Amino acid sequence: MGIERRSVQDDRRLSREARVTLVMQGLFIFAHSMAGTFLSLYLWRLTHSLSINGIFNILLYTFTAVGFVVGGKYVKRKGTMTVYRLGIALISLFYFAVVAARERVVDYYPVFGVFLGLAGGFYWIGYWTLSYVVSDEKNRLRYIGLSSLTSTIATLAAPLTAAAIFSYSEGLRGYVILFSVALLVFLCAAAISTRIKVPDTRRKTYYLNHMASLVRRNASFRRSLIGNTLLGVKQGALLFLPPILLYQVLQGENKVGVLNAALSFLAIAASYLFSKYATAGGTKMYLFVTVTLYTAASLLLVSGISAWTVITFLVIHSICGPIKAGTYDGYYYRLIGTLPLKGELRVESMVIREVCWNAGRASFLLPLLLFVPDLETGPLAWIVLGAMVSQYMLAMLLDKRFSSASAIASPTAGDEAGPKQATGVRRGANG
């Protein structure tokens, strides 16, 4: 019994490359959470325009997808780490430009949105490909859970740091200091990335042109992409609205920072419990419970946008977000592990997923721009509610061969579609 238990623990142990990747991701998320959250708020403070923020984010999401497509090609040709480091370098350059431009960011906000989207696309295709490479079927759920835990700890430290900065220096100067600190952390993450080495893909060919044929022939993979588009709809709401809503009801960057830190404590607990106890067999149950809680929280927003309804909604998000993202991401990773060419389509699978995510995010923002003139009107809450209710379809789209306990025990579950060709595997931050 003791020997068997030790064997299971050894199987789930992370490699050195996986641990270094977690450190790099923690630094990146710390800087990204601090700067990215307050970048939206910075635009809001300068313009008080929901349309400018919405257009900025639509451009951001659109060109993130473009960055993924282009970055995926270079991952195949130049290697995962080259693209990963290029992404960090471009994001660092972006925040250097923000610090230099200051208030004039508003004059060029479409350019900033396009550049950040491209930079983010390069970073995230590098990171998600790296995450797949440094983990395996036996420890992937553990890696995803610890990745979520690391990211959540970083998102706890980020708002506390931001609150301290704004306590020391309010107004524009506080934003400049904050973006400068984030820039330094991005550069630290780039330096640490030199300590990790991963094997290049065996095949340099970029198979993106052939993915449409795979989607047509592989029903489980097709349904998983529909599910990722639905996830993008929810992400559109939860990446865009929280900092603006919090500032609207709390009226102060310090308060936004402190409350975000408190919410992160809840997310840390959820991430830890998920990494410790989650199993593939619970996929459908995890999705159903978290979506039900999201829907209930959205109904509170329908009753009125106020401090207590917004905070309650974000409490639910902090608890459910890591569980829901980790659940569907683990499912997606298991599925792509059974696609043709024995894992060589992982880059293309990440690219297609990101395109689906960003299509979903933009589809949430478009009705927001068309029908919601301000944050106080009823349509906002109803659009958020619709986005959360749509998530019930995720459970319906699952293939039970990749969402049950037997999915781990029988890795060739999808072989009926051809040699190592399943009909259908992860995230996420950001799910």
* Burial per residue of 119-144, b for 16 or more beta-carbon CB atoms within 10 angstroms, e otherwise: bbbbbbbbbbbbbbbbbbeebbbbbb
Nearest to 174 by CA among 185, 163, 183: 163
User: What is the three-class DSSP state of 207?
Assistant: coil
131 Cα distance to chain centroid = 13
Q: Please determine, for residue 300, whether its predicted confidence score (pLDDT) is greater than 90.
A: no
Domain made up of 15-192+210-417: CATH architecture: Up-down Bundle (1.20)
Q: How far is the C-alpha of 245 from the C-alpha of 250, rounded, in Å?
A: 8
Q: Rounded to two decimals, what is the model's pTM?
A: 0.73
List, for residues 189-244, the tens digit of each pLDDT value: 888 888 777 666 555 677 777 788 888 888 888 888 898 898 888 888 877 778 77
CB-CB contact of 426 with 329 (8 Å): yes
302 Cα distance to chain centroid = 26
Q: How far is the C-alpha of 355 from the C-alpha of 228, rounded, in Å?
A: 9
CB-CB contact of 362 with 254 (8 Å): no
Mean pLDDT on 127-135: 79
Least confident range from 59-63, 113-117, 269-273, 278-282: namely 278-282
Q: Please determine, for residue 417, whether its predicted confidence score (pLDDT) is greater than 50.
A: no
Let me know how many helices (H) and strands (E) the chain has, helices first: 16, 0
Which one-letter DSSP state was computed for residue 325?
H
Split at pLDDT 50, 70, 90, the class of 411 is: very low
Least confident range from 10-24, 60-74, 183-197, 211-225: namely 10-24
Ranked by mean pLDDT, which of 44-53, 223-232, 314-323 comes out on top? 223-232
Nearest to 83 by CA among 200, 211, 210, 232: 200
